[in-house]
Amino acid sequence: MARGQFAAYLNANAKRMSPEVVSAVQELIYPDDIFFCSSPEEGDLAARTILDRGYPTVFTGGGDGTAVSLINDVWMCVRDTGREMPKVGILSLGTGNAMARLVSSGSPLADLKSYVANPSMDTLEMGMVESGGRLFPFGGLGVDAQILADYLSVKQGIGAGVLKPIFQNVGGYFLAFFGVTAPRTIANLLAGREAIVRVINIDQPAYRILDDGSAGQEYAPGAVLYEGPFLMLMAGTCPYYGYGMKVLPFADLRPDAFNLRMVGISSAKALANLPTIWTGDYRDPGILDFYCRSVRIELSDPSPCQQGGDLVGTPTRLHFRHVPRVVKLLRFI
């Protein structure tokens, strides 16, 4: 056990953060180098301490929210001070673990043990999307964020007791969708209440993505990429959402752009084609993909927005900007 060589940034509230896991981590990383965080304030303090001590590598233990929080906290300090960003190892101890899909074997303790015993220089350099000063690897507006909001609301209301196990996996999201989100969406359609979104390309050219992932039509700064009703608007540099759902299949193909996806198909059509949507293989004229560096999003009505799996409000105006080479993720696979 080498003191000061590695740090661990652990979410005390993570789904799989059991006493057994904590004990296993403490056997591999010196206890003074382990930071347990249960609030944003604790996370910010831990990030500053990690930078002050100069750890070259930090492991995050939790879900996507834990990794994204650490990266944001450290990135802001690095941006302000000019210090070097540590390498980040993602231990998949949370619920969705979208980012871990890119670099993890799926066994977090095995990943940690093998790396501590034999550190590797194999990393994945990852850019992210920035909005309002916050970085995120994936995010969205529309039904996906509404499902998350409804999931959290239902979980708080009834997700306890005998129903608690359902809300510890993807079943809770389906329950929220069929029980709350879908009925509301259908009612809004029948009443003619459809939100309209306008996406304007700014600063640099954007490109329509062809079915094979290559760049097609070019859009100059100021061009409107999309205007009309929508089911979902998604953006990111990570192709996955939680549970291996590859909803942004072109997100990691270009290091200089993020994948913007406009979904205009109906909820019924999306459900009917869920298996191929899940694997990222589904194509439809109602799904438009773009390589973008900077866009402005204008909504006719406030819409829930999620970034990195966390709700961040119900905006009507947003600016998404690509930030290259944010972090080097340790690759365990």
Given a cut of 70, whether residue 321 has pLDDT beyond it is yes
The domain ranges of the chain are: 6-121, 138-325
Q: How confident is the model over 13-58, as pLDDT tens digits?
A: 766 677 788 888 888 998 899 998 888 788 889 888 999 999 999 9
Domains 6-121 and 138-325 share a fold: no
CB atoms within 10 A of CB 129: 28
Average pLDDT over residues 271-282: 88
Give the CATH H-level superfamily of domain 6-121: Probable inorganic polyphosphate/atp-NAD kinase; domain 1 (3.40.50.10330)
**188 pLDDT band (50/70/90 cuts)?**
low
Q: What is the pLDDT of residue 278?
A: 85
Question: Which phi and psi (to 5°) does residue 176 adopt?
Answer: -65, -40
Average pLDDT over residues 304-319: 90
| Cα–Cα distance list, 82 to 77, 78, 85 (Å) | 8, 5, 9
Given a cut of 90, whether residue 116 has pLDDT beyond it is no
Question: H helices of 82-142, where?
Answer: 100-103, 108-117
Given a cut of 70, whether residue 128 has pLDDT beyond it is yes
The closest alpha carbon to 231, from 273, 172, 168, 170, belongs to 273
Q: What is the pLDDT of residue 329?
A: 94
Dig out the tokens for 296 from the structure: 């402005």
The closest alpha carbon to 287, from 316, 247, 321, belongs to 247
CATH number of 138-325: 2.60.200.40
Name residue, tokens 């239902």.
154
